[in-house]
Amino acid sequence: MSELKPGRSFVSAQQVAELAGVSRSAVSRTFTDGASVSETTRKKVLEAAETLGYHVNHLARSLIHEDSGIVCLIGADINTPYHSRLIDAITRRLQAINRVAMVINTSGDTDSVEAALRQTLNYRANATVVLSGTPPTSLINTCLNSGQHVILINRDDHLDGPENISVDNAAAAREAFHMLHRAGSRRIAVVSSQAGTPSLVARERAFETAAGEAGLDVTITRAGPTGYGAGFEAGRLLLSGSHRPDAAFCVTDLLACGFMDAARVEFGMNVPEELCVVGFDDIEQAGWASYQLTTFRQPIVQVADHITMLLDGEDPLRQRGGSVSFHADPVWRRTVRPK
Amino acid sequence: MSELKPGRSFVSAQQVAELAGVSRSAVSRTFTDGASVSETTRKKVLEAAETLGYHVNHLARSLIHEDSGIVCLIGADINTPYHSRLIDAITRRLQAINRVAMVINTSGDTDSVEAALRQTLNYRANATVVLSGTPPTSLINTCLNSGQHVILINRDDHLDGPENISVDNAAAAREAFHMLHRAGSRRIAVVSSQAGTPSLVARERAFETAAGEAGLDVTITRAGPTGYGAGFEAGRLLLSGSHRPDAAFCVTDLLACGFMDAARVEFGMNVPEELCVVGFDDIEQAGWASYQLTTFRQPIVQVADHITMLLDGEDPLRQRGGSVSFHADPVWRRTVRPK
DNA sequence: GGGCTGCTTGCACAAATGTGCAAGGACTGA
DNA sequence: TCAGTCCTTGCACATTTGTGCAAGCAGCCC
């Protein structure tokens, strides 16, 4: 008879079995879907489990099945509106298919990325979703070699092993140019940040190309690390000169908010009369009355749905290395002149 | 000789031992701090591990120690600026002390809270941090009975078992009143939401009391579920009447942003000349040029530090049921008239 | 009642790891 | 060179769970 420690420590199946007067196998089978247990013993077991407060140990269970039920989300800047919404959507859907998310924050030192991916392997995560940033290819290969399922989001360099889910940045950026061009803008600035994320670079490039095809030159400004501050600074730099732009494509909504604030507060400009602005992401603040930003909606729901689809499939490894791209639809608000 | 599967599946210590020509115990000891291994075997083991891509299985390790290294963060509305910053800070510090965060999202259905806490127990989480919301007391007791370490953040009802970390909402709300009162405001509105979170209620109450002591009546408006939309709606309701308030204490910065936008966009009012506003949380947007909101700073860093301190202590259970309260300092910006 | 069928149940083993214990080996001092 | 000491190492058992296999048992049909 094993010793019962009522208050502390976790209850094991052995203790439940002893209280219920059955074998430990019976307890195990009671909590295993599709196992063969009679209704009477099932009842005894459930009652004993309730009394003792028993909860199946998923760690031990994962030793046997290869499925730990853990999915790692790794990313930097997770307090950003876009990222936090993405994490919100993914965690919610993962829970719906009985997985649980381990969030690994790679902000700060660069070594932390390596340590983070090691955690992924240590906990035998079912899959690793790389939300952003630029983890070295070697580390991704480490995961792949260990049989890990790797899902990359918004890395436009399409690697072979992992699954790629991306947004059609190029198409959206082209559309952004045409929106501004059609509105009559001819001196268009591109506002970006020093982050150098693949998606940001893709948006810059595609916009520049589309402008070139229309015979326009654009200047790309990268005034700070990321976000609102960089946008504000870019606005201060670009609008203080004598040759002011009449429109800006900001590769991120946060940049756009900063840019607009600089234009209005520092220079008293009117948007969209004197300055048109287009953003990207469609964060919550883009819809606020102070901004009413015309932008492109990140297909967050589709991305989250696709991830769960990949993980919930009967054979999650069947289409390894596949690539999916979702469209970012324009959201018309008030920062681009109509017609 | 166990079969080597090079590409797929995870590598076990047994395989490393065979390649290195030592016993499995030696492998185990190589990866255990403080265990006795000679330098030569350690080298052989590390080399073999590197070759095969071995990573210690934390799930199996956790079967032996009671320490799984997993900390559950459970909360709703995790895409909110305040919550995402809190999660950012906590995950970062947890990683620094070699723990990893499991994020459980309790937005949506109410049953999900129960399922979430079960996950906590299933994975033998080292501790459960309840970020917000109002999980039933019975579920918290379930965790405590299983020997779980429970840490509640910003629940002003101080329960016995769990650790409580809170913000001194009452003191800040009193200070908010005096800020507005000293600025000459006499018709002060309190803007809140229908969320009914303990912290929000505490702020409402304390402000009301302080106003009452100064001989002023305040009306509390709860115009929507939460956030910006509720603040905007409250602004529309309160400012359309003939008896406009000349100041508002918004129990959340998001509410304050919505309220200010309604005042300016819908009614063309000037802040702070015609209307003073004080918020709470000091989210990033409060510092944006469009708002420059005077508010109270959530002690996010202190809270995160305290959590890690509790978990990293030699005996994490030593001061069970302790309560700590941090002060929320005022951040003066431009939405309250000076002097 | 006997034989057959099918469900239930316990035993024993599997999964990957940490660790006490005893044995072995190397080194030192006399 | 021998005894003693200390470090290293392998064996075996521990952690918690799932499951194949065989035995047991009930029920049913002839």
Each domain of chain A, given as residue ranges in start order, spans 13-56, 68-168+300-327, 169-299
Of A179, A172, A154, the closest CA to residue A80 belongs to: A154
* pLDDT value for A66: 82
Give how far B56 is from chain A: nearest CA, Å.
6
**Would you identify the CATH topology of the domain B169-297?**
Rossmann fold (3.40.50)
- Chain A partners within 8 Å of B283 (Cβ): none
Out of B81, B107, B146, name the one closest to residue A10 (CB).
Answer: B146
**Residue A267 scores a pLDDT above 50:** yes
Structure tokens at B225: 């579920």
pLDDT, tens only, A276-319: 999 999 999 999 999 999 999 999 999 999 999 999 864 444 45
B57 and A122 within 8 Å at the Cβ level: the answer is yes
What is the pairing mode between strands A329-331 and A295-297? antiparallel
Confidence of residue A134 (pLDDT cuts 50, 70, 90): low
> pLDDT exceeding 90 applies to what percent of chain B?
70
Q: Which residues pair with A323 in a beta bridge?
A: A164
**Residue B83 scores a pLDDT above 90:** yes
Q: Are A285 and A252 in contact (CB under 8 A)?
A: no
Query: What is B67-168+300-327's CATH superfamily?
Result: Response regulator (3.40.50.2300)
Confidence of residue B176 (pLDDT cuts 50, 70, 90): very high
- Chain A partners within 8 Å of B105 (Cβ): 88, 91-92, 95
Confidence of residue B2 (pLDDT cuts 50, 70, 90): very low
Alpha helices in chain B (DSSP H): 13-20, 24-30, 39-52, 58-64, 81-96, 111-122, 137-145, 169-182, 198-213, 227-240, 253-261, 267, 300-312
pLDDT, tens only, A64-108: 988 899 999 988 899 999 999 999 999 999 988 889 999 999 886
Structure tokens at B33: 């701090």
Q: Cα–Cα distance between A75 and A83 in angstroms, integer?
A: 8
Q: Evaluate whether B13-56 and B169-297 have a shared fold.
A: no
Of A220-224, B108-112, B115-119, B202-206, the one with minimum mean pLDDT is: B108-112
Confidence of residue A7 (pLDDT cuts 50, 70, 90): very low
* pLDDT value for B226: 77
Preferred mutation among A120, A290, A292, A301 to probe B, highest tally of B CBs within 10 A: A290
**Residue B316 scores a pLDDT above 50:** no
* Chosen CATH of A68-168+300-327 out of 3.40.309.10, 3.40.50.2300, 3.30.1510.10, 2.40.128.20: 3.40.50.2300
| Torsional sign, CA B23, B25, B26, B28 | positive
Of A118-122, B122-126, B190-194, B294-298, the one with minimum mean pLDDT is: A118-122
Q: A264: nearest CA in chain B?
A: B290
* pLDDT value for B133: 66
Is B182's Cβ below 8 Å from some Cβ in A? no
* pLDDT value for B110: 62
B105 and A84 within 8 Å at the Cβ level: the answer is no
Q: What is the CATH number of domain A169-299?
A: 3.40.50.2300
Q: A83: nearest CA in chain B?
A: B79
The separation between CA A163 and the C-alpha centre of its own chain, rounded to angstroms, equals: 14
**Residue A157 scores a pLDDT above 90:** no
Interface of A with B in 207-236 (CB under 8 A): 228, 232
* pLDDT value for B134: 65
**Residue B170 scores a pLDDT above 50:** yes
Confidence of residue A113 (pLDDT cuts 50, 70, 90): low
| Bases of strand D lying below 7 A from some protein CB | 7-12, 14-20
- Å between CA of B12 and C1' of D17: 18
The CATH architecture one would assign to domain B13-56 is Orthogonal Bundle (1.10)
- Chain A partners within 8 Å of B124 (Cβ): 10, 57-59
